[in-house]
A and B are shown apart, each in its own frame.
Chain A
Amino acid sequence: MKRLTLYRVAVVAIVIAILEWLCLHGTIDRITMPPPHRIVLDLYKLLASGSLNKAIAKTLGNASIAFTLALIVGVISSAVLHGHRAVRDTLDPLFATYYAIPIFAFYPLLIYLFGLGDGPQIMIGFMLAVVAVIVNTLNGLDRVPVVLLKTARIHRLTRFEIARTITLPYAMPYVLTGVKLAVAYSLIGVIGSEFIMSRGGMGYEISFAYTSFDNATMYPLIVLTLLAAILVNGLLTRWEKVLLQRRGLR
């Protein structure tokens, strides 16, 4: 195990140990939070019973759709915006302040537009994730060396070919940074909107457990969300590491 990984594991272990100690010694009472070992046992029971499988599948499925949409729309929009300076300059202030906008406030409007199904939740996940992809992809596209653009012209590439074979591959490490953020944002968007108003999903279950003091459901679901985000993020980080190593940047 590398030293950095060891430090990360150590930090997490120390925090868990402190929480465990505080819970077991009553500093944090059990109604507020069960000890971490109990949360793990409850999570195992929940998963083994299969009682929340439908909710988990709904949330992760919707978050995946929101993320995929954000990735496709984000990358294509960035490639187009990068070639249209005036449009880019017009939208730059929006991108810079976008995350100050309370996206969840648009939930009623989205329900009006997309109905009471999964559509509004997917849209909120998408709206939160897409700008992270756009901003980071544009950042990468801005860094493409002029000599590579000249090389593209020497090879008589079309604009589409330049984007596909030169600028987007060059920007890939930056795109991945956006993708990692998009994973987290799409999860937050979907779970958050389920939390506000939904008839199913992990957010709904967390909300229901929250209002009924059902810690044996609420905390395991929070941990499960965290684990899903960590797993996807870990895989993307490994891919990013390979890309950066190939380029001699790590």
Chain B
Amino acid sequence: MPKDDKVAAADVSLRGVTKVFPGGRDRPPVHALGPIDLDLHKAEFFAVVGPSGCGKSTLLELIAGLSVATQGVVEFEGRPIHGEVPQGVGVVFQEDACLPWLDVADNIAFSLRHADLSSAQKAERVQRALAMMGLADFATSYPAQLSGGMRQRVCIARTLVMEPRLILLDEPFGALDQQTRLLMGDELLRLWRQSGATVFLITHALDEAAMLADRIGVMSARPGRLIDLVETGWPRDRDSRIVENAAFGAVTARLWKSLREESLKTMGKAAT
């Protein structure tokens, strides 16, 4: 993570992106996503909310290069992504992705295996990441000795130490309690400001999206399409106290208004 100078941020564009999972012998193909058109601006914090099973994670995997679009084009910094993870992309998953046989420091250093840095520079980056994530006292602890929140911080540190220009987060706080989520949200906002990276966050929590993001994309029930784009208008220098702002309620209400009918569709009920 750079101290002063900002890294060049990402520019992601999706044009007509569709994902259809092929069917099996007794299963029809599943149209999971799209078509989706979307631009992520450099250094913006973009969140996506949507009903369960609408293809949020599929969308993230397409942007990450972990999956290939059936139709359409995904571009990162003007270059198409086609099932290969581009350099400069970091992903934090919802599930615990710590390597259980490595201690915290080695887990973080894992991301620097191929970095063109000296050992001293790598060690310095790891120390900085440990300090930034409040893990300095746990450098030699193993993931099994940490709480769920701390393990997720290790995963975030492992992503940030790569200095990615695009950070993709797939419900990273999904397993955490509400207080920890708020504090982790503050931490994420601070890191986003410091790094200057573009952040793409998948979440099912409307208040989390409303608190963290500059813009929020609302997805429909499957096949997931963007049905609303909400600009929060928050200042860049914000934290979780934004929830006290009167406009916060209005943003959350608008998200719910867009999402309610879609959520009911997912549950197989008609809107009333």
Interface string of A147-173 (1 = CB under 8 A from B): 110110111100000000110011010
Picked from B66, B85, B100, B113, the residue with its CB within 8 Å of the CB of A246 is B100
The DSSP consensus for interface residues of chain A is helix
User: Looking at A147, A243, A248, which has the most chain B CB atoms within 10 Å of its CB?
Assistant: A147
**Given A153-B85, A156-B85, A148:B144 Cβ within 8 A:** no
- The verdict on A247 contacting chain B, using a C-beta distance below 8 Å, is yes
Judging by beta carbons under 8 Å apart, are B64 and A170 in contact? Answer: no
Does B99 lie within 8 Å of A148, measured CB to CB? yes
Are B99 and A166 in contact, with the CB atoms below 8 A? Answer: yes
| Size category, B interface | 20 to 34
Q: Residues of B contacting A153 with CB < 8 Å?
A: 65-66, 85
Number of A-B residue pairs having CB atoms within 8 Å of each other in the complex: 56
Q: How far is the CB of A239 from chain B (nearest CB, A)?
A: 12
Main SS at interface, chain B:
loop
Cβ-based interface call for B93 (8 A): yes
For A151, the chain B residues whose CB sits under 8 A away are 91, 93, 97, 99
Chain A proximity of B140: nearest CB distance (Å): 11
State in angstroms the CA–CA spacing of A147 and B64 once bound together. 14
Q: Does A93 contact B (CB under 8 A)?
A: no
CB of B90 within 8 A of CB of A154, answer: yes
A222 to chain B, nearest CB (A): 38
- B85, B101, B114, B145: which contacts A172 (Cβ < 8 A)? B101
Whether a CB of chain A sits under 8 angstroms from the CB of B228 is no
**Are A155 and B93 in contact (CB-based, < 8 A)?**
no
Contacts of A166 in B (CB 8 A): 99
CA–CA, A248 and B143, complex, Å? 8
Q: Which residues of chain A come closer than 8 Å to B100, judged between CB atoms?
A: 170, 246-248
B residues contacting A by CB (< 8 A) are: 64-66, 85, 87, 89-91, 93, 95-97, 99-101, 110-111, 113-114, 142-145
13 example contacts (A-B, Cβ-Cβ < 8 A) are as follows A145-B97, A150-B93, A151-B91, A154-B66, A156-B87, A166-B99, A170-B100, A170-B101, A246-B100, A246-B142, A247-B142, A248-B144, A248-B145
5 residue pairs, one from A and one from B, having the closest CB atoms:
A248-B144, A147-B95, A247-B100, A246-B142, A147-B97
